[in-house]
Amino acid sequence: MLLAALLLTVSLPAILEARESATFSPADSHFFYSRALADVPMMQEDSTNFGNGQNSDSQRLIFTVKTNLLYDLATAFNIEFEVPFFDRYSINIEENYPWWETGYKYCLEILSLSPEFRFWFTKWDRESDAKMQGWFAGVYGMSAKYDVQLNVSLNYQGEFFSAGLCGGYVHQLKRLFGKPTHARLEFSVAAGFLQTDFRHYLPTDDYTMLIRDKYNVGRVSYFGPTKAKVSIVVPVFVKNDRTR
């Protein structure tokens, strides 16, 4: 017992001197514990940041669904789909389909289809959720048939086509009805050439028939504004399936 105490007294200063001169780091601390700590990088906390690409490791935007609120207010119900491709292009397909009437007094029936090719000024990551935001410009085409009646003051059937340029801006909403959201607002306009073949008609006095006015038919060509949109945009996502 006395011998062990003597040996400890002699060797302790040397041990302490060796520890003081050695380089010590937290990574070496596992040597002094019974359970070793592996050097594994800490995972960063997932912070979902709507619409700016920060959550792109978990989800990817594949297309958006839209409706033009201005047309909806006029009961001209519509729907649009937009699909991104490469890193700054998209194809937008717009369909308008108001189709209602009240006897032979009032009518709004329009069936139109309008594709758009868009170039986005902000480049995006293909795996990001922040696609199709900011400013864009593009070209469009449109074709439609229509039947519009407002009692006896406005009564036309016909077809038209249009082509021209379009442009606008898409704004990311942070909250909607007090809750975080991925929804967006699109503001856009279009202008170009439009040509329509029309046929005028009138209802009978008792509104039981519509009579074609064979002397009021023709074709009208027009150049100027053709579209105005304030659209609510709902992105559709899929989860990224990438192995880290």
Tell me the C-alpha distance between 79 and 98, whole Å. Answer: 11
Domain assignment of residue 216, yes or no: yes
Task: Kindly report the average pLDDT of the chain as a whole number.
Answer: 82
Closest residue by Cα to residue 231 from 114, 94, 122: 94
Domain assignment of residue 222, yes or no: yes
pLDDT attached to residue 50: 52
The model's pTM:
0.73
Domain assignment of residue 185, yes or no: yes
Q: Which residue has the higher pLDDT, 190 or 11?
A: 190
Domain assignment of residue 26, yes or no: no
Tell me the C-alpha distance between 135 and 168, whole Å. Answer: 6
Say which CATH number the domain at 63 has: 2.40.160
Domain assignment of residue 172, yes or no: yes
Percent of the chain with pLDDT over 90: 60
Domain assignment of residue 23, yes or no: no
What DSSP state is assigned to residue 221? E
pLDDT attached to residue 57: 52
What DSSP state is assigned to residue 121? S
Domain assignment of residue 2, yes or no: no
Range of the domain at 158: 59-239
For the chain, how many structural domains are there in total? Answer: 1
Domain assignment of residue 119, yes or no: yes
Which contacts (CB < 8 Å, 24+ apart) does range 71-79 have?
A: 71/96, 71/98, 71/229, 74/98, 75/100, 75/108, 76/108, 76/110
pLDDT at 47 over 70: no
Mean pLDDT over residues 186-206, rounded?
95
Mean pLDDT over residues 110-125, rounded?
95
Closest residue by Cα to residue 22 from 34, 10, 11, 31: 31
Tell me the C-alpha distance between 228 and 239, whole Å. Answer: 34
